[in-house]
Homo-oligomer: A and B are copies of this chain.
Amino acid sequence: MSRTNPSLEQLAIGVDIGGTGTKFGIVDRLGNLLYSSEMSTRKHNEVESFIADLHANLVPMIEQAGGIGRIKGIGLGAPNGNYYTGTVEYAPNLPWKGILPFSKMIEDTFKLPVVLTNDANAAALGEMMYGAAQGMNDFIMITLGTGVGSGIVANGKLIYGHDGFAGELGHTIIIPDGRMHEGTGKRGSLESYASATGVRLTALELLANSNTPSVLRNLPQDQIDSKVVYDAAIEGDELAKEIFEYTGKILGMALANFVMFSSPEAIILFGGLTKAGELILKPTREHMEANLIQVFQNKVKILVSHLKASDAAILGASALVWDLK
């Protein structure tokens, strides 16, 4: 590929808005993250001050990259972000409530075209353009963090659905009448089990309902989280291993259903829980295969994202920009 005058190359800004922090950067078409930084989301009680702060942070970065003339636009990934309307709607993990006209506000501040989607969709785009899903037309991205997010690609395109809200796989019901989800009031959703929150709840349940010895019994309840369960499991703690086994069982059942929906070439897992590696991947694979009908068996890859966690979402958000008219 010849790049005779790289100074004329267009660049994109990618912004990944999380509940705690916001990461942003400037990316070229090849997915090189040329400049990046981060700032707090949480400390901004008003969305206006958040956007002003983001602007103040990005202006010098834009200058460094050659000025605003080189920037084609801004891609945003945000929890509950809607691609069609450019709004962020009732995001439980953000400090600002209601329906926010996010794209419009950013556009007015930066005087640049803006495109927004939810954070899991942005991550899926990042994987498709620069990560584990390169060259794939059909795959599903599942983010296993505090909650469970998802982005679904079929026929080479993200599925947004008729209203822009498609891909809420974390809220699909896997265990009817199962564990209550505090945020939604629904029982038995994938997110209630296969998230960091879910691992903690499974740990508390197993500690209460079994007599298996475990180092976890030495900790006060409020210190039980997916991190200490992981630490115990790699030390060989049986109960801790059982917690991941159970988590993988539920996740595997859910993945089987997703495969029978869109028959993806691969499922890409991303986020904190994937750090448990084979502790969770082995039962996930086994229970996925056990629930698939024959025609789907032994052909769907379960892959773990190899993009740097802090970069993937920025890259994905920036990737939205290249499709802008």
Contact = CB atoms under 8 A, between A and B. Distances in A.
B152 A262 contact: yes
A137 B291 CA distance: 30
Interface footprint category on A: 35 or more
Contacts of A161: 138, 154, 262-264
A257 B172 CA distance: 5
Interface string A239-256: 000000000000001001
Given A160-B263, A165-B296, A172-B257, 6 more contacts: A89-B295, A155-B159, A159-B262, A159-B263, A168-B261, A261-B262
Contacts of A261: 152, 159, 166-169, 172, 258, 261-262
A202 B260 CA distance: 24
Chain A contact residues: helix, strand, loop or mixed? loop
A90 B296 CA distance: 13
Interface stretch (A42-50, A52-60, A173-181, A207-215): A173-181
5 contacts: A154-B154, A155-B155, A155-B159, A175-B176, A261-B262
Contacts of A160: 155, 263
Interface of A: 80, 89-90, 136-138, 152, 154-155, 157, 159-169, 171-176, 184, 186, 253, 256-258, 260-265, 291, 293-296, 299
